[in-house]
């Protein structure tokens, strides 16, 4: 878990004899009851250990995806390491996966998968199985939302009056600068519909060499600014992260919007302080 400054936040730990289905069930049930609470939705990111996967299939542990108690997603680093082994230790395939898997834009994901279809079809075969509960079940549909941000479709809410963490403040400033060179065209005046032109956007090209190569193309992005201070952009960054993208920052410049209205309140510096306000109790004599 991360705090609003993108720092790793330890929630809880357990000391057990081994990593097993029973021990994961014990830990996750305890975590739900004693740390998180029954009525809080959580996204859990993990490797694909069978004991962890079993937790999300047991309706009695508090982590049932089918009842909207949580969502379970897979760590891209673990998948990359397994992909590397599966495709015969081709480093360029692993690097291409790492480059593409965390992109928010659906187009970037499609480009990565097209590269694999042409140059490494065995990578596609492996990735289509990764998200399944049973990778060997031919009838089970792939679950790309467990692997790729671009397929996740998460939605975030926004409020007004925040002072942002250092990281978010720097990111907003960076995106303001990036948006200065973009062209904004309003559609349906008063309805919050825009097109934003990015000239010469850098994109990876298909290549036969291990090193990534890039080209530049012009792209149009559809951006919708809603009445409830939510922003939807085809790049998906506002929806997935709760932080306005550079395309929306171009609109902010043209329309004189208050960008603070459109940032998720979880990034407030006051939230950072609250996050770390708890304390650990000393354990005392280790013999006890």
Domain that holds residue 246: 166-273
The three-class DSSP label of residue 74 is strand
Residues 125 and 46 in one domain: yes
Report residue 191 as tokens.
Answer: 């309805």
| Better-scored residue on pLDDT, 22 or 201 | 22
Residue 83 lies in a domain: yes
Residues 221 and 191 in one domain: yes
Number of domains the chain contains: 2
Residues 146 and 196 in one domain: no
Give the pLDDT of residue 10: 83
**Which pTM value belongs to this model?**
0.59
The three-class DSSP label of residue 238 is helix
Query: With contact defined as beta carbons under 8 Å apart, do 247 and 223 qualify?
Result: yes
Residues 262 and 142 in one domain: no
Residue 202's φ and ψ, nearest 5 degrees, are -80, 125
pLDDT digits (tens, 9 = 90+) for 101-143: 888 888 888 889 988 988 999 999 999 999 888 888 888 888 8
Residue 262 lies in a domain: yes
Residues 62 and 98 in one domain: yes
Residue 237 lies in a domain: yes
Residue 204 lies in a domain: yes
Average pLDDT estimate for 16-22:
93
Helix and strand numbers (H, E) in the chain are: 10, 6
Residue 256 lies in a domain: yes
Residue 201 lies in a domain: yes
Give the pLDDT of residue 280: 67
Residues 133 and 170 in one domain: no
pLDDT at 20 over 90: yes
């Amino acid at each position: 878990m991360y705090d609003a400054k993108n720092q790793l936040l330890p929630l809880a730990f357990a000391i057990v004899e081994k990593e097993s289905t029973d021990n994961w069930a014990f830990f996750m049930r305890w975590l739900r009851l004693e740390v998180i609470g029954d009525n809080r939705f959580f996204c859990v990111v993990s490797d694909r250990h069978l004991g962890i996967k079993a937790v999300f299939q047991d309706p009695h542990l508090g982590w049932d995806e089918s009842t909207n108690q949580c969502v379970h997603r897979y760590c891209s680093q673990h998948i990359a390491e397994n992909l590397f082994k599966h495709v015969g230790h081709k480093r360029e395939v692993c690097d291409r996966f790492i480059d593409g898997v965390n992109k928010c834009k659906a187009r970037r994901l499609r480009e990565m998968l097209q590269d694999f279809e042409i140059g490494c079809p065995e990578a596609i075969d492996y990735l289509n199985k990764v998200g399944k509960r049973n990778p060997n079940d031919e009838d089970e549909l792939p679950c790309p939302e467990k692997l790729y941000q671009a397929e996740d479709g998460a939605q975030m809410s926004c409020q007004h009056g925040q002072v942002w963490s250092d990281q978010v403040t720097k990111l907003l400033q960076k995106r303001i600068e990036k948006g200065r060179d973009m062209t904004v065209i309003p559609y349906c005046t008063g309805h919050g519909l825009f097109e934003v032109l990015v000239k010469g956007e850098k994109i990876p090209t298909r290549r036969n060499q291990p090193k990534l190569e890039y080209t530049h193309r012009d792209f149009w992005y559809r951006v919708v600014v809603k009445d409830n201070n939510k922003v939807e952009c085809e790049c998906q960054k506002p929806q997935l992260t709760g932080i306005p993208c550079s395309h929306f920052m171009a609109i902010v410049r043209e329309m004189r919007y208050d960008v603070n209205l459109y940032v998720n309140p979880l990034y407030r510096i006051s939230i950072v302080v609250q996050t770390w306000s708890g304390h650990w109790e000393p354990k005392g004599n280790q013999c006890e």
